[in-house]
Structures are given as C-alpha cells and as structure tokens.
Amino acid sequence: EADIYQTPRYLVIGTGKKITLECSQTMGHDKMYWYQQDPGMELHLIHYSYGVNSTEKGDLSSESTVSRIRTEHFPLTLESARPSHTSQYLCASSQPGGPYEQYFGPGTRLTVT
Amino acid sequence: RKEVEQDPGPFNVPEGATVAFNCTYSNSASQSFFWYRQDCRKEPKLLMSVYSSGNEDGRFTAQLNRASQYISLLIRDSKLSDSATYLCVVTYGNEKLTFGTGTRLTIIP
C-alpha cells in the first residue's frame, strides 16, 4: 500500500467558504500532483510540484492554489468554494527521474452546496 | 480530438473469457505508456507499464504499436476481481501523465 494520505475524505460545504484539502506522503517523493476527476470522467491534472518551493499549474485551469513548503506536504486551497468545484480531488506522488509509477491517495470527495 | 482515447464500454464479459481493450494516442512523440486500474470510487493504481516489445504479467498482456499509435491490454481467463475501470496513460517526456477516460469492465459470474 502507498503511504499517501488525504484529508478529509468527504467534505460538504457551503458556497463562499474557504477550504484546504490536505495531502501528505511519507515516501520521500519529490514529485507531487493534484488531479480532479468527475464521476465517469478522466483525471485532469490541475497542479504539480517537483520539489519544495516548486509549484506549477496543470493542464486543466483551476481556481485553486497549492503550496509546497515541506517535501511531504502538498495542500490545495480554494479561497471561495462554488458548486462548480464539486468533484473528486486526487493527490499523487512519484519518485524523481522517471517517469515512474504515480501513487495516488484515496481522494477527497468535495460537494459545494 | 482527445490526446488519449478509449472505448468507455461498458464491457460485460463472462468469467473465464478473454477480453481486450485498445487505446489510441494522438501525439507521435509520446514516450511512455501505462495501464492503470481504478476500482469504483477508489484511486487509480498502476497495473503495468507498456514496453515497445510488449510485456506480460500473469494473465495480463500489454502491447504497443507506435506506427498506428495505439496500445492494447489483453486479459485472459478473466476473474470476477478483474471488474474495474482500466485507464490508458501516456506521457510526453515531461513526466506528466495524460489519462484516458477509461474502459469499464464487468466480469459476469
């Protein structure tokens, strides 16, 4: 089993609230990723990081932001949640070099009412 | 046109049968190829990498055809536990993965 964790697993929140989705890994991986996946649809990369203080936007435009202050931690923040943000958010990590296998966390299922 | 295209299925296959999926990719410069498996409401997990010479892992065989820009996955002697969505994944050297929509497979007892 991969040592990558996400909290909360489920979140139901009202419009306009600020939320932070947590992602941590204990594998020492430099690379971390955030994906968004709607039911029955493909994963879309929204953010990635190749190490501390490195963050990049992914292929899908997102109103969220990320930070990478510590290797093991890669939180995603939405300043003002909207119903259009309702989706599943998956965090992943991989070791340097590669491309190597990406290990995924269990995901956060977000519902914005 | 999507960068990675898969037949979404669903494929409903009797237990013990052989089933094959194809996946096409649009960028001829693609370098690495994978099949991931995603169970319902779970995270994706690597099933196998796909090498130019083709590779086999037990009941699973993956093939790559660069000329026609497609990869395939063959499952022999299918088991009930093979029921899942199979994701075709392609990279273009920058180590970002591009996922297909996935092919949903259900094995019927």
| Nearest C-alpha neighbor of B41 from the set A110, A109, A42 | A109
Q: What is the mean pLDDT of chain A?
A: 92
The C-alpha of B18 sits at a distance from chain A's nearest C-alpha, in angstroms, of: 24
Neighbours of B46 (CB within 10 A): 17
Compute the distance between CA of residue B86 and CA of residue A18 in angstroms, rounded to an integer: 34
Range in A1-5, A70-74, B94-98 with the lowest mean pLDDT: B94-98
Chain B interface, mutation test: which of A6, A42, A55, A60, most B Cβ atoms within 10 Å? A42
Range scoring the smallest mean pLDDT among A96-100, A102-106, B14-18, B48-52: A96-100
Using CB atoms, which residue from B43, B96, B99 is nearest to A42? B99
- Residues B35/B73/B5/B12 CA torsion (nearest 10 deg): -110
What residues in A contact B40, CB-CB < 8 Å?
Answer: none
Q: Above 80 in pLDDT, residue A49? A: yes
Contact A43, A87 (CB under 8 A): no
Contact assessment for residue B36 and residue B89, using Cβ atoms and an 8 Å cutoff: yes
Contacts of A104 in chain B (CB under 8 A): 43-45
Cβ-nearest to A106 among B43, B95, B96? B43
Of chain B, the percentage scoring pLDDT greater than 90 comes to: 75
**For the segment B13-53, what is each residue's pLDDT rounded down to a tens digit?**
999 999 999 999 998 888 889 999 999 989 999 999 998 88
pLDDT on residue B73: 97
Give the pLDDT confidence score for residue A103 in this predicted structure. 92
**CA atoms of A26 and A40, how far apart (whole Å):** 30
Return d(Cα B75, Cα B58) in angstroms, integer: 9
Q: Quick one: which of A17, A20, A18 has its CA closest to A7?
A: A20
Letter string b/e over residues B8-32, b meaning 16 or more CB atoms within 10 A of that residue's CB = ebebebeeeeebebbbbbeeeebeb
- pLDDT, residue B94, reads 61
Dihedral of the CA atoms A24, A42, B26, A101 (nearest 10)?
30
| Interchain proximity A90–B43, CB inside 8 Å | yes
CB contacts, 8 Å: A42 with chain B: 4, 87, 99-102
Residue B60 has which token pair?
A: 């699973």
Instruction: Please tell me the distance in Å from A11's CA to the nearest CA on chain B.
Output: 15
Where does the pLDDT of residue A95 fall: very low under 50, low under 70, confident under 90, or very high at 90 and above?
A: confident
B80 at interface of A, judged by CB pairs closer than 8 A:
no
| Closest chain A C-alpha to B43 CA, distance in angstroms | 5
Mean pLDDT of B77-85: 97
Nearest CA-CA partner of A98 in B93, B63, B72: B93
Q: Using 50, 70 and 90 to split pLDDT, how confident is the model at A99?
A: low
pLDDT in tens, A5-19: 999 999 999 999 999
Q: What is the dihedral of CA B93, B95, B96, B102, to 10 degrees?
A: 90
